[in-house]
């Protein structure tokens, strides 16, 4: 595993919005099938490892997990040979101290108070074939009505026309992880929608189904469930369709280059944890709010994600730095001829 995966962050207690509580409820529902069989004396804890619930216990300020389940969930490759040394006995059960293990092996570990931890690995060890041009289109809302800046809302009929044009001209809408096979895809294009507006469910989702195309939502994780934003249920329904991926757009859309270090880390890592809990899939991409980042933010993103996505700029070509993945903005009212011209320019 590359990218380091070096972060340990335990004990932080986040008691945020109602949206976050809804995520916890979703996580609790996911936990139901995995009834802990491991219960040495101590407070029962659930360790979620890459979306998998692992039996555990919280005792003496430390989290312990059933050794076999914990290691299996993490993937054996990077602990082989150290298994016995890391094992401990707790109440007669063979366990691992989650904190120690993660510190030793560079796995992200995020505490949420006493009884639940999340453990995620850095996303995207995979290699990407170089030299493939990948236009990434940037949208936000979809709707005839505009309740905030009009340029953020593409009219549904315009979007239909744009999708038809893409399909008629041989483009293949893909997800970020499809870039693993970028050289085998005919004219890949990424359709991205930022800010997780509720119209992504009411307006965009039916259109995606109509055309059977893939789209990526850059979700502001902390706003899930807010009035103008997607609910958890809506997002889960979209994800279950197979046409939609949820990637990160931070927790609250703060400008990363203005944040103190601690808050910067939370914006970039808690959103990843929250989306992992909601979807059971670890996000691999993050879109920097307003395209703004700095060296600190990019360093954290290199550890936690596989792609860092900007706003404007030249078309991304695989092999270039994936943390400066530029996109093509599609403003409201753009003529189809201008849309086509932007794509053709991106073809090089
Ligand atoms: Zn945004």
Q: Are residues 173 and 292 in the same domain?
A: yes
CA of 195 to the centre of ligand 1 (A): 5
Domain limit, last residue, from 94, 123, 152: 123
CA of 287 to the centre of ligand 1 (A): 8
11 in any annotated domain: no
Of 48, 72, 3, whose CA–CA distance to 273 is shortest? 48
Kind of pairing, strands 43-49 and 52-59?
antiparallel
Collapsing DSSP to helix, strand or coil, 194 comes out as: strand
CA of 253 to the centre of ligand 1 (A): 6
Q: Are residues 142 and 282 in the same domain?
A: yes
**Would you write out the chain's pLDDT as a tens digit for each of its 348 residues?**
333 222 222 222 222 333 333 333 333 333 344 445 666 678 888 888 877 888 888 888 888 888 888 888 887 555 555 555 556 666 666 788 888 887 777 677 777 665 788 887 766 568 999 999 999 999 999 999 888 888 899 999 999 999 999 999 999 999 999 999 999 999 999 999 999 999 999 999 999 999 999 999 999 999 999 999 999 999 999 999 999 999 999 999 999 999 999 899 889 988 988 898 888 888 999 999 999 999 999 998 988 899 999 998 889 999 999 999 999 999 999 999 999 999 999 988
How much is the pLDDT for 82?
56
CA of 213 to the centre of ligand 1 (A): 22
Q: Are residues 244 and 179 in the same domain?
A: yes
CA of 218 to the centre of ligand 1 (A): 8
Q: Classify residue 204 as exposed, middle or buried by CB count within 10 Å of its CB (0-12, 13-18, 19+).
A: buried
CA of 131 to the centre of ligand 1 (A): 28
CA of 139 to the centre of ligand 1 (A): 10
Distances in Å between the Cα of 224 and the Cα atoms of 21, 52, 150, 218, 238 are 10, 22, 22, 12, 14
The model's pTM is 0.79
How much is the pLDDT for 30?
37
How much is the pLDDT for 93?
67
First to last CA, the chain: 34
How much is the pLDDT for 123?
60
d(CA 71, CA 330): 45
User: CATH number, domain at 297?
Assistant: 3.20.20.370
How much is the pLDDT for 91?
61
- As for how many domains the chain has, the answer is 2
CA of 116 to the centre of ligand 1 (A): 30
CA of 221 to the centre of ligand 1 (A): 11
CA of 27 to the centre of ligand 1 (A): 25
CA of 247 to the centre of ligand 1 (A): 12
CA of 126 to the centre of ligand 1 (A): 27
- Alpha helix positions (H), 190-260: 199, 205-211, 232-240
CA of 150 to the centre of ligand 1 (A): 14
Domain limit, last residue, from 85, 100, 123: 123
Q: Are residues 191 and 339 in the same domain?
A: yes
Q: Are residues 100 and 154 in the same domain?
A: no
Kind of pairing, strands 108-111 and 8-9?
parallel
Q: Are residues 229 and 300 in the same domain?
A: yes
13 in any annotated domain: no
CA of 78 to the centre of ligand 1 (A): 36
How much is the pLDDT for 185?
97
Contact (Cβ atoms closer than 8 angstroms) between residue 300 and residue 256: no
Q: Are residues 95 and 170 in the same domain?
A: no
How much is the pLDDT for 87?
60
Query: Which phi-psi region, left, alpha or beta, contains residue 341 (left: φ > 0; alpha: ψ -120 to 50)?
Result: alpha
Range of the domain at 240: 133-346
Give pairs for 99-104: CB < 8 Å, separation 24+. Answer: 99/8, 99/10, 99/62, 99/63, 101/70, 101/74, 102/8, 103/8
Domain limit, last residue, from 82, 102, 123: 123
Residue 215 phi, psi (nearest 5)? -140, 150
Tokens of 318: 């695989």
d(CA 326, CA 244): 20
């Amino acid at each position: 595993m590359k990218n380091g995966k070096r972060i340990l962050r335990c004990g932080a207690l986040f008691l945020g919005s109602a949206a976050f509580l809804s995520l916890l409820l979703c996580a609790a529902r996911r936990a139901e099938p995995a009834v802990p069989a491991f219960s040495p004396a101590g407070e029962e804890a659930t360790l979620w490892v890459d979306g998998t619930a692992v039996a555990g216990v919280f005792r003496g300020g430390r989290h312990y997990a059933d050794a076999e389940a914990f290691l299996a969930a993490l993937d054996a490759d990077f602990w082989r040979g150290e298994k016995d040394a890391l094992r401990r006995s707790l109440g007669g059960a063979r366990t691992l101290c989650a904190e120690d293990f993660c510190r030793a092996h560079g796995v992200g570990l995020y505490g949420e108070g006493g009884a639940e931890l999340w453990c995620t690995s850095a996303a995207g060890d995979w290699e990407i074939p170089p030299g493939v041009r990948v236009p990434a289109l940037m949208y936000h809302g979809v709707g005839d009505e505009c309740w905030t800046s009009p340029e953020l809302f593409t009219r549904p009929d315009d979007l239909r026309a744009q999708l038809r044009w893409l399909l008629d001209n041989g483009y293949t809408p893909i997800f970020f992880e499809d870039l693993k096979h970028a050289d085998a895809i005919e004219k890949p294009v990424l359709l991205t929608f930022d800010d997780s507006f509720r119209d992504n469910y009411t307006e965009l989702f039916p259109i995606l189904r109509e055309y059977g195309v893939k789209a990526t939502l850059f979700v502001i994780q902390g706003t899930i469930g807010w009035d103008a934003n997607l609910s958890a249920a809506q997002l889960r329904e979209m994800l279950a369709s197979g046409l939609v991926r949820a990637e990160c757009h931070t927790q609250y859309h703060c400008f990363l280059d203005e944040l103190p270090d601690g808050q910067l880390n939370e914006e970039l890592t808690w959103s990843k944890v929250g989306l992992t809990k909601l979807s059971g899939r670890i996000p691999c991409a993050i879109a920097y709010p307003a395209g703004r980042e700095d060296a600190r933010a990019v360093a954290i993103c290199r550890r936690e994600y596989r792609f860092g996505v900007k706003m404007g700029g030249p078309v991304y070509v695989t092999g270039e730095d994936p943390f400066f993945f530029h996109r093509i903005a599609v403003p409201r009212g753009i003529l189809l001829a201008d849309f086509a011209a932007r794509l053709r320019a991106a073809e090089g």
